[in-house]
Amino acid sequence: MKIIRVLLILFLAAGTLSAESQFLHRSVCPSGEIGMELSTPSAHYLPMFGEGSDSSSVVKGLIRYGNLNIDPSGESRSTRLTDVEQVIYVLDGTGVLTCSKVPVPICKNDFIYVPAGKRFSLANPRERKLSVIIMWFRITPGDTIKPASEMMIANADEVPFQVLGSHGPTTTFQLLMGTTLSTRDKLPAASRVNSLFVMDFAAGGTNIPHRHDNEEEIYLILRGKGDIVAGETSDGKEFRHSSTIGDAYFFSPKTLIGFYSLNTEGEEHARILAVRFRYP
């Protein structure tokens, strides 16, 4: 799947939106590569939110969120990030992640936690492009939740889907990663990331609109189609946006968030990769 930046729609407290609505939207466009710490002639970074995009003044709890594509037989630069924890989700392909000189095979739907201070790189020895989502979060000395000190990896296919009572039976969740205090997530690893998860929607399924007072969140549509709820009108009605595979939305705290699947019986279920993180 090609996740490439560019169209930015920023709705702030103005016009027809309520004062608490604030979100960003990225959609597919065949341009926008920038250089960053992992970039090489064969490793191409396409920013979506945070540094390298024009959203850095709005996104507060995230350093980078974007798509890194590594060409066949290519590799990224080796880098070490001080005070930055990294979450990686493999969208497509296979490859090798080397962390602290230890090579680890990775494949589609792997999710990985790379602790701050660990030197790492990505390589693609295969004939097919390796595509991953990169998420970077800054750890500060005052953080009360201490992160994992070693790399952690698992595959989403190993994580069962479950119903969460507050969201209704038509949506199920894979709880992939949370903080080191988590007792429900597959990987209790992070300091800043409260929850990394995948939502699966039955035909016509709904993620009931809700809001988070002290967290930012990003939705990335992995497959399917539907209406994203992002904010509300001044008279309290849901502000819906037609969305499909590759669309990504960033939500500021207090913004109304939800999803209505438009996939029908017999079609593949819509799925969304979501990450929710603490507002600094």
Which domains, from first to last, does the chain contain? 9-278 (2.60.120.10)
Tens-digit pLDDT string for the chain (280 aa): 444 433 344 443 333 444 455 889 886 554 589 999 999 999 999 999 999 887 777 899 999 999 999 999 999 999 999 999 999 999 999 999 999 999 999 999 999 999 999 999 999 999 999 999 999 999 988 889 999 999 999 999 999 999 987 777 899 999 999 999 999 999 999 999 999 999 999 999 999 999 999 999 999 999 999 999 999 888 889 999 999 999 999 999 999 999 999 999 999 999 999 999 999 8
Q: State both tokens at 44.
A: 């191409």
Q: In this structure, what token pair is assigned to residue 159?
A: 């994580």
Predicted confidence (pLDDT) per residue in 80-135, tens digit: 999 999 999 999 999 999 999 999 999 999 999 999 999 999 999 999 999 999 99
Bridge partner residues of 102 (DSSP)? 99
pTM for the full predicted model: 0.91
